[in-house]
Amino acid sequence: MSYLPSIPDGAVLMDVFRAYPDTTRPLLDYHELVLRGPSPFTVAERELIAAYVSGVNSCDYCHGVHTVTAEACGVAVGAVPAAVADLDSAPVSEKLKPVLRYVGKLTRSPSSVSKLDAEAVFAAGWDERALYHAVLVCALFNFMNRVVEGLGIKADDDYYAMSGKRLNDIGYAGLSELMSG
């Protein structure tokens, strides 16, 4: 149930987006740039980071949608929840684990992130641009998790499946077009 009186019960994030198009369109443009634009990370890896951050934050809505999206983009089924539960044993590439550790720490206790954490990312073979992109995805999903939780947006597995497939198919730019419908 949304906490916004003008939004009906059972509302999803798209309902909020449609109610507030002036702030949503630039936000979706930013999503498209960060999650689908040029990056050292693949689309699947960025969706994995988004789903992981959302899982760390216990934001079921974003974790559910972006887990399905990550899987639709090629991440192994079950890898995201496994990473949230125990990153060390999760079926995630060893190269990506330091990135997930970094964004997990940035999510849980931002002021505790140190140069050593960044150096672990670099030691795994990522460069400065990759760290920057990981931080952008992490920050965006910490923001989105607060929006979703702050507005009381909830959904179920069927919605996550539909929304994750839709994001895989049309990306975030396509959501702007759907807002008009």
Domain boundaries, the chain: 41-172
Buried (b) or exposed (e) across 118-134, using 16+ Cβ within 10 A?
bebbeebebeeebbebb
Q: Which residue has the tokens 């008009």?
A: 180
Buried (b) or exposed (e) across 142-157, using 16+ Cβ within 10 A?
bebbeebbebebbbee
Q: What is the pLDDT along the chain (181 residues), one digit of tens a residue?
A: 789 999 988 899 999 999 999 999 999 999 999 999 999 999 999 999 999 999 999 999 999 999 999 999 999 999 999 999 999 999 999 999 999 999 999 999 999 999 999 999 999 999 999 999 999 999 999 999 999 999 999 999 999 999 999 999 999 999 988 887 6
The CATH class of 41-172 is: mainly alpha
For the residues of 6-62, what is the DSSP string, one character each? TSPTT--HHHHHHH-HHHHHHHHHHHHHHHHSS-SS-HHHHHHHHHHHHHHTT-HHH
Residue 49's closest CA among 144, 123, 122? 144
Q: What is the DSSP letter of 2?
A: -
What is this structure's pTM? 0.96
